[in-house]
Amino acid sequence: MKILLPVDGSEAALDAVRFAIRLAREGLALQIVLCNVQEPATLYEMVVAHDAKVLHEVSSAAGAHAIEPARALLRAAGLDCESEVASGDPGNMLVETAENYGCEMIVMSARGMGALRQALLGSVSQSVLHASPVPVVLVKPPPAPEAEPDEIAAAAADDPPAAA
């Protein structure tokens, strides 16, 4: 199964990569395409740079840098991958990349935005979920471990009071 793994360099995106690695370890034969989408250059960047080639090179380098931690995780797990750095609206470009590579599924992180912020801004995962012709698996981050009350008290005792 060929899957698209969108990555942006965040820990949440690496959680999705780890999920894909688990799928492979459980026996699913995977072909993986890593994708990073860079926002188009702003008017300010275009005016300051004066050269579209420089903007493209900087954008490509930033995308490659964002992909590298995911590539390293996959390499450590013994998995090969293809990669793509695209530019444009992230939701649309991820769906287009999945179609171009013939991906049968998209596995991506789901970030916990507040309801108001998500309603105002939307989210890349929501955009992909609605536009994708293939299944989309949203990977939530693992829950934070809860500290025991004794550990919290001990940590508070170790911290000196703040100076006023």
Write down the pLDDT at residue 72: 96
Q: What are phi and psi of 135, to 5 degrees?
A: -60, 145
Write down the pLDDT at residue 42: 57
Query: What's the CATH class of domain 2-158?
Result: alpha beta
Write down the pLDDT at residue 137: 95
Query: Can you tell me the mean pLDDT for 110-127?
Result: 63
Statement: residue 160 has pLDDT above 90: no
Average pLDDT, the chain: 82
Q: State if pTM tops 0.85.
A: no
Write down the pLDDT at residue 142: 78
Statement: residue 113 has pLDDT above 90: no
Write down the pLDDT at residue 157: 61
Q: pLDDT tens-digit profile of 42-85?
A: 555 555 666 666 555 666 787 898 999 999 999 999 999 999 99
Least confident of 33-42, 96-105, 140-149: 140-149
Write down the pLDDT at residue 121: 46
Judged by DSSP in three states, 107 sits in: strand
| Neighbour tally for 160: CB within 10 Å | 6
Any idea where the domains of the chain sit in the sequence?
Answer: 2-158
Write down the pLDDT at residue 43: 59
Q: Which two tokens stand for residue 35?
A: 């994708």
Q: 11-25 and 52-76 helices cross at what angle (nearest 10)?
A: 40
